[in-house]
Amino acid sequence: MRSTTLSRSLLTAALCAALLAPAAVTAAAVTDPVTAAVHAEQAVKIGSLDRAEVAAYLTGYGLGEATYAVDLYRITYRTPGADGRATIASALVVVPRTTRRLPTVLWLHGTRAYRGDTASVSDNYDRAAAVQFASAGHPTVAPDYLGLGEGPGTHPYMVARPSVSASVDALHAARTLTTPDRRVLVTGFSQGGQVAMLVGRALRADHHYRLAALAPINGPHDIRGAELPAALDGRLDGVSATFYLGYAMVSWNRRYHLWDDPAEVFRAPYAAMMDRLFDNDTQEADIVAALPHTPDELFTPSFLARLRHPAGRLAQVLAREDTACRGWRPDVPVRLYTATGDRDVAIANTLHCRDQLAAHGTRATVVDLGDHDHFTAGRLAVPKVLAWFDRLG
């Protein structure tokens, strides 16, 4: 999600459709596959790097070695919006210059509130991570998600189904550029770690790709049981917790209509500005500057009580959207990356995910990256994930 010191992470460019009508809320998990065949409507080559250039580029981001030259493309493709109607999304596709056929890597990015901060349109850590995987021989697809990158409208942040459909459809659209191995290795950071688990669930029924491994990094896998309590009791960085919770509540209200009047939820003067701040056209540094430093300063006392003890519609939304590791059994290797020093996403998210998977017969390995902040842990994880993927064969 964001860094321990959010404003600093924005300056370092670290990892990390109009308003939708109200929708019925049911406690259903996201299990459906998405589309059977999707093709890129447009593919634009945005860069090429020879091996020496790849090595220099990755060094600049503190990443690993380069084996192959790569070509970078931005694709746009059709996919269901959060309301089910067709819309356009974009993705970065990085293609290695090799005749080897290795599994495709799906890289899923962390929280982005400004549409211009995604890998297909901006040179950032998500683009570098995609180049890292591709330079090892893996065609790599990095979706921007809905409402970000070249996509219209607003981003349905922390809404599972459109995050899954936009990601799986990006994989299918990328086949326009590659003839990949049908195996797919799924990884992602922060929000993308959660989406990685949800995508893995959907890929079990995909007609083209076969899920081969899951390696989420620092994901908020248990919102109600781990992330919400830590955000509200001060264990997480206050600036980050305020940003994430504010963004999620605005997004969920657009989808599920959690309130009639924003003053029910947000204190003054924030009630009047939240929709504008999270319109995906506002720079993240400006959002951070406008928000208070703790959830207690952002939310009304009555809504804080609802967050601490969800009931009614809010509890239904959580039941629907908080299913990354609950109620399913991955039949592929799973490695969960986390960090004891992470004050953006509580380590309990990963430990609870491990336990939830174990309850259904999957033994996931937990890798503790140590006493590092959220973004440092994400950077350290990428080469380790790649090495693990390559050991899997």
Q: Is the pLDDT of residue 169 over 90?
A: yes
49-53 contact pairs (CB < 8 A, 24+): 49/131, 51/135
- pLDDT given at position 236: 97
- pLDDT given at position 38: 66
- pLDDT given at position 7: 35
Sheet holding 103-108, edge to edge: 42-49, 70-80, 86-96, 140-143, 103-108, 181-189, 210-217, 335-338, 365-368
Give the burial string for 113-135 (b: 16+ CB within 10 Å, else e).
bbbebbbbbbbbbbbbbbbbbbb
CA dist., res. 197 & res. 268, Å (int): 37
Residue 57: pLDDT band by 50, 70, 90 thresholds? very high
Convert the pLDDT of each residue in 251-276 to its tens digit: 999 999 999 999 999 999 999 999 99
Helix ranges, 61-186 (H) = 125-135, 160-174
Convert the pLDDT of each residue in 41-53 to its tens digit: 899 999 999 999 9
Residue 17: pLDDT band by 50, 70, 90 thresholds? very low
Question: Which residues, including other chains, have CB under 8 Å from residue 58's CB and lie 6 or more apart?
Answer: 64, 65, 66, 128, 131, 132, 135
More confident residue, 392 or 23: 392
Residue 26: pLDDT band by 50, 70, 90 thresholds? very low
Domains of the chain listed by start with CATH number? 6-223+321-392 (3.40.50.1820)
